């Protein structure tokens, strides 16, 4: 069974939260949260309001170091950097580099070196989110 997991930056401190994505209606329209269930009886569940623009889903793949690859990650493979995006037209996650639609390579041979929110300069982007 594949693991369904999301991550997003917390609204209160900008740190990454990992867990289930929850969207709640509120007076302003809606609010987004990441809910992380307790891993053992000694812990408690946690939920955090998040910056919706930073939501990324786990692709189900890991890099050469065993690091989980999320939508929005930057993966380096044979000296080339790619951002991991979801392409709705193809109904798949894909590695994308500037001036191309998508690229195919063995994700397990690449390495996650950052993400488009914390390290936009790695892929030619602007400011951090």
Q: Where along the chain do its domains lie?
A: 6-53, 58-123
End-to-end CA distance of the chain: 33
DSSP 3-state of 125 = coil
Residue with tokens 């009886």: 41
Residue-wise pLDDT tens for the chain (129 aa)?
788 999 999 999 999 999 999 988 776 667 899 998 888 888 888 899 999 999 999 999 999 999 999 999 999 988 888 999 988 888 888 888 766 655 666 777 899 999 999 999 998 766 666
- Asked if CATH classification 2.30.30.290 holds for the domain at 58-123, the reply, yes or no, is yes
């Amino acid at each position: 069974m594949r693991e369904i997991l999301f991550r997003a930056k917390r609204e209160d401190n900008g740190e990454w939260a990992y867990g289930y994505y929850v969207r709640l209606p509120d007076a302003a329209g809606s609010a987004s949260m990441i809910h992380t269930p307790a891993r053992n009886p000694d812990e408690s569940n946690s939920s955090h309001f998040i910056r919706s623009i930073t939501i990324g889903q786990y692709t189900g793949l890991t890099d050469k170091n065993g690091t989980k690859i999320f939508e929005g990650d930057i993966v380096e493979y044979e000296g080339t950097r790619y951002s991991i995006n979801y392409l709705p037209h193809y109904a798949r996650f894909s590695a994308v580099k500037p001036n191309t639609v998508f690229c195919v390579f063995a994700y397990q041979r690449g390495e996650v070196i950052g993400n488009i929110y914390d390290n936009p300069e790695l892929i030619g982007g602007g400011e951090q989110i």
